Structure 1
Amino acid sequence: MTNFACRPKFGRLFFMDNNVFNPEHQQKHISNKIVSGLERISEVFKILLWEKAKLVGLSPIQIQILIFVANHKQELCNVSHLAKEFNVTKPTISDAIKTLDKKQLILKDYSSSDSRSYSIHLSQLGKQLASKIYDFATPLKHQVDKFNQSELEAMFKTLSELIYKLNQKGILTVQRTCFGCKFYQKNDTSDYCNLLEKELLNKDLRLDCPEYIERM
């Protein structure tokens, strides 16, 4: 008996038709096109990160760790949190930190209560290198800058909400957007921050807020 589910149709298989990467299926829902577009943009980050990694002799995750540590408070710069931040295993982070330590790019601050636990911060050499790798995403930013202000604000709010929703579904393990913060309040027609005591315009919303406290 012929298995119609697997019969080729114009070089494809029937069971593969209904997916977001099928150009014909993309035409049925704009959300399919958006997901496909986000996948392409994620490839841009991989390419730019790899290009910078080859220039400075580090791996992409090592570059990401240096940039994160340079821009965040020390309590977030430990193996457990970094593993959650980048959605990788603790051994992967430990191996990356070991290499950064050998290259004298980071320093370890051991816990007084647990000698196995430590946080990291950048050495002077690490700070110098970090200043040279921040710009890996500049080619992408140059293209984003070409949108007008209203387009940028609408795009930013949508991205913020998407990140929060992905976190709520357990797909993104870490997020520090306004929408998940204890200080955030949604009013009928506006967003409000109880810490700053002010209404938040789209441009005021944050993706990575240093005052973020998770709403319980």
Structure 2
Amino acid sequence: MERTVDIILAFSNALWRLLAEASKKHGLSPLQGQIALYLAKRGEASVTQIARELAVSISTASESLKSMIKLGYVEVARGRDKRVKVVRLTEAGRRAAEEISSIYDALSVVVSRLNYAERALLHMLYAKIVGELIDKGLIETPRACVGCQFLDKAGELYICRLAERPLGRATAPR
């Protein structure tokens, strides 16, 4: 069991280091790198939405975004609802997000070598482990599952559509 935990931790640390290194090349923290990746996928979002999805406080998200604005990676705009301000990537921000996301290319190559059954098993096991950690309150749903195609928001709940299980409430962090 200890060896399995060590492997999971080593994998997690390696991915975090890759994100940190790729983000640092653009003068960004790992959290700001995550924000850039999130905005690249979503297009635009409010500070509250970013905070909720990345499981950080609104003030943490806001401070990160202020730095990103100063660096020229993010701009403030009016959302569809003209009363709400949103942020979106500038052209420089899109280029940075594209370069940061390239850290996952090597991982994609390795995962593509797994057959369908191996990928499905890996995803099911990951969903089970993450679900248990969420149930115990050790991690928050959005940050663990950001970008996952199987994450669905149903009303006030996040649901993993692969594991077919609720993962937690969709509430903004404090």
**Is 2:134 aligned against 1:150?**
no
Structure 2 CA distance for partners of 1:215 and 1:128, relative to 1, 3 Å: closer
1:159 aligns with 2:113: no
Q: Are the structure 2 counterparts of residues 211 and 66 from structure 1 closer, same or farther at C-alpha, using a change threshold of 3 Å?
A: farther
Q: Quick one: structure 1 residues 112 and 129, their matched pair in 2 at CA, closer, same or farther if it must change by over 3 Å?
A: closer
Match of residue 105 from structure 1: 73
Deviation at 1:67, TM superposition (A): 0.5
Aligned sequence identity (%): 22
2:8 paired with 1:38: yes
Report the alpha carbon displacement of residue 89 of structure 1 after superposing the two structures with TM: 3.5
- Select the structure with the greater relative contact order (CA < 8 A; seq sep ≥ 6): 2
Alignment of 1:70-149 (within 5 A): 70-72=40-42, 74=44, 77-109=45-77, 118-149=85-116
Q: State the partner residue of 1:7.
A: none
Match of 1:214 among 149, 152, 157: 157
Of structures 1 and 2, the larger Rg is shown by 1
Output the CA distance in 1 between the equivalents of 2:130 and 2:15: 17
Structure that is richer in helix per residue: 2
Classify the secondary structure of the residue corresponding to 1:56: coil
Q: 1:55 offset after TM fit, Å?
A: 2.3
Distance in 2 between the 1:97 and 1:60 partners? 13
Residue 164 of structure 1 contacts residue 175 of structure 1 at CA under 8 Å; is this kept in 2? no
- Please give the secondary structure, in 1, of the residue aligned with 2:31: helix
Rounded to whole Å, the distance in 2 between the matches of 1:85 and 1:215 is 11
Normalised by the length of structure 2, the TM-score is 0.69
- Segments of structure 2 that go 5 or more residues without pairing to the other structure are 160-174
Q: Confirm or deny: 8 A CA contact 2:39 2:89 kept in the other structure.
A: yes
Structure 2 CA distance for aligned equivalents of residues 176 and 61 of structure 1: 10
Structure 1 CA distance for aligned equivalents of residues 156 and 58 of structure 2: 24
Q: State which drifts further: 96-105 or 65-74.
A: 65-74
Gaps of 5+ in 1: 1-30, 178-204
Contact 2:55–2:142 (Cα < 8 Å) also in 1: no
Deviations 1:107-165 (Å, cap 9, x if unpaired)? 223579997x6331222332233222211222333333332321111111121233233
> Which one-letter code corresponds to 1:69 in the other structure?
L
State the Cα distance separating 1:213 from its structure 2 match: 6.7
Partner-residue secondary structure (3-state), 1:171: coil
Q: What are the equivalent positions in structure 2 for 1:47-62 lying under 5 Å apart?
A: 47-62=17-32
Residues 172/126 of structure 1: CA separation in 2 closer, same or farther (3 Å cut): same
TM-score by length of 1: 0.58
Distance verdict in 2 for CA 1:172–1:46, change over 3 Å: same
CA distance in 2, matches of 1:176, 1:86: 5
